[in-house]
Homo-oligomer: A and B are copies of this chain.
Amino acid sequence: MGSQTSGNWKELAQICVKIQQDSIPKQWMLSKDKLPSEETLNVSSVPYDAGTMSAEELEMTAQDAGGLLKAYESGRWTVKQVITAFLKRGTVMQQMTNFATEFLAESALQKAEELDAQFKETGKLSGPLHGIPVSVKEHIGMDGHITHAGFVSKIGNVPKEDALSIQLLKKAGAVIHVRTNQPQSLMHLDSNNNITGMTLNPLNLKLSPGGSSGGEGVSVGSKCSVIGVGTDIGGSVRAPAAFNGCYGLRPTALRVPNLGNFGITAGQESIRGVVGPLGQSVEDLELFMSAILGGKPWDVETMLVPIEWRKLAPNKEMTVGILYDDGIVKPHPPMVRALKIAAEKLNSAGIKVVNWEPFEHQRGWDIVSALYFPQGPSPYLDTFAETGEPVLPLTQHAFNFSSKEPLTIAENWSLNYQKEAYRREYHALMKERGVDFILCPAYPGAGVLQGMAKYWNYTAIWNILDQPASIFPSGVKVDKDIDRPYEGYTPRNGHDEWELKAYDPELMHGFPVCLQLAGKHFHDEEVLQASKLIDAILKK
């Protein structure tokens, strides 16, 4: 460090910027005069107005995977047509949000042609994800492509094979057409780094796209891909899904492959990062899970547990606990309203709804936050120092969670022990209270200003508990007239005070509110089953 620092981070970053820029299909870019004015904050409708996409192409990009599969089977659309439509949409959204690190137009269109030829010849789809446009977070390693995980010094990392999840997706017929952005170190709830920079939220350019799978949030939320592949160790699939109004799942750990994901914490087993899908519907999430597990990943990545995806029959017999407040940070008014409306609708639909009194979420946070950086920040700082890239504010924020000094192995064991005890107790309490699922916020607010996503524990709590959790839209949008700021509320702590001040009804007006549904450990199938039911009820 210091004078030893090579300080060449800007030049190195340019390697990736060039790859990114070169990869953009220029023919579908909007000229500057066709881009929205600088005052326009919600740019999500631009693809509809820009004129680069036909009505049919717009219809293609409005489908979920099931819709596309039907269209392929009936011969209505070819994969090539569909992939072209998604690339067009992605190109336009990229201009406004910078969500992609690299488009893969050529290989995607080639794969599309192959799939079309195969279908023409056999009359059969090649797999459960035949021709489905899938975007993938950058740090999920890709054969022959720089995979840097948000570290400038890792720009030299070029995997020699695809990550196992990518292999299985390709085998299932998916077309991977774009790689997406993530934050420095992967440890923000937004997506800003020193390489390809900051991703913006197309629903409001001032707001965070969420993170760390923020590029995925935009990609899927803006329908530039149907399914997105993210990773989540504290909310990194769920915050982006929630902030972009789409669907997402953090599965139970050790079901979906991690092999070939790149980062600087290999061998860390105390709190596991998990690959999870984002999608246009709960069915998309289910399709991802069943396709991936159908590939029996445990027969390659022996760390995984050999549990096939279980098909569940629809079932209304369930009890949903509503968590209105985790006892640490009070959710913003529109979030509480969305939960109340959901509770009423579920109740009316004959679902048993109860209040969920949070069980020591601070205890959960104390454990998980200590486990994020058990070596202290120095492995990260050393990695940054290799090129001199600056530490971004939210990276520093995350470092502050954990001890500055490395833990001893004894301390790590103690945290592991506490973690398991907390998991057992939480699970026992859900059984005792007869609660199958917990409906809760994914973040105190429906969205958050760029650079300000600081409170992780509405999502991280399910990481430390290793309980599966999904995201879906509540159907509610922030209404500045209804969702007035709290008056006379005295914050319980610094986080609470920060988040109380962070709520700006004017800024947030019209922003969609998403909700999170957590289930029991390994009840991924039940969580999606319930999410489907709840989603249908909320849409009514």
Contacts and interface: CB of A to CB of B under 8 A. Distances in A.
A45 interface: no
Contacts of A303: 420, 423-424
Interface stretch (A32-40, A107-115, A294-302): A294-302
A408 B410 contact: no
Contact of A300 (B270, B414, B428): B428
Contact of A416 (B269, B302, B466, B522): B269
Contacts of A408: 375, 406, 409
B410 A409 contact: no
Nearest to A427: B302
Contacts of A374: 409
Nearest to A417: B267
Interface string A256-270: 000100000111111
Main SS class of interface, A: loop
A265 B408 CA distance: 14
A522 B299 CA distance: 10
Contacts of A301: 424
Nearest to A406: B409
Contacts of A424: 259, 300-303
Interface string A417-433: 11010011001100100
Contacts of A466: 302
Given A300-B424, A379-B410, A409-B407, A306 B522 contact: yes
B268 A413 contact: yes
Q: How large is the interface on A (under 10, 10 to 19, 20 to 34, 35 or more residues)?
A: 35 or more
Contacts of A126: none
Contacts of A412: 267, 409, 412
A158 interface: no
Interface string A298-320: 11111101110000000000000
Interface string A385-412: 0000000000000000000001111101
B265 A413 contact: yes
A416 B521 contact: no
Contacts of A410: 375, 379, 406
A379 B414 CA distance: 13
B522 A417 contact: no
A420 B302 contact: yes
Contacts of A300: 424, 428
Contacts of A427: 299, 302
Contacts of A420: 267, 302-303
A266 B306 contact: no
Nearest to A415: B267
A266 to B, nearest CB: 5
Given A302-B420, A302-B427, A427-B302, A413 B266 contact: yes
A360 to B, nearest CB: 16
A267 B423 CA distance: 13
Interface of A: 254, 259, 265-270, 298-303, 305-307, 374-375, 379, 406-410, 412-418, 420, 423-424, 427-428, 431, 466, 521-522
13 contacts: A259-B424, A266-B417, A267-B417, A269-B270, A300-B424, A302-B423, A302-B466, A302-B521, A305-B305, A305-B307, A305-B522, A306-B307, A406-B408
